[in-house]
């Protein structure tokens, strides 16, 4: 389980697993529970590179968003 501390958003932590290059068990701790739990369901099984492409640069406030922070967390896993 990866635990990522996002910056500039309401969520305090993003938790997820990557299995065979795909997202599993994405969970946002804190933030807007309805929206963030829906995002976790939508990305289940999504390839990491697809998630980065879709979510990187989607901004809400403070120059970032929860999904932008998820993209940053995923990018940090790249070798």
Contact in structure between 48 and 23 (CB atoms under 8 Å): yes
pLDDT digits (tens, 9 = 90+) for 7-53: 999 999 999 999 999 999 999 999 999 999 999 999 999 999 999 99
Give pLDDT, residue 75: 97
Residue 79 scores a pLDDT above 90: no
- Specify the pLDDT at position 78: 87
pTM score, two decimals? 0.95
């Amino acid at each position: 389980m990866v635990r990522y501390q996002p910056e500039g958003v309401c969520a305090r932590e993003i938790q997820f697993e990557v299995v065979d290059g795909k997202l599993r068990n994405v969970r946002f701790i804190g933030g807007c529970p309805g929206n963030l739990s829906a995002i976790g369901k939508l990305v289940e099984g999504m390839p990491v590179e697809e998630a980065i492409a879709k979510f990187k640069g989607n901004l809400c406030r403070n120059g970032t968003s929860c999904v932008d922070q998820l993209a940053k967390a995923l990018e940090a896993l790249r070798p």
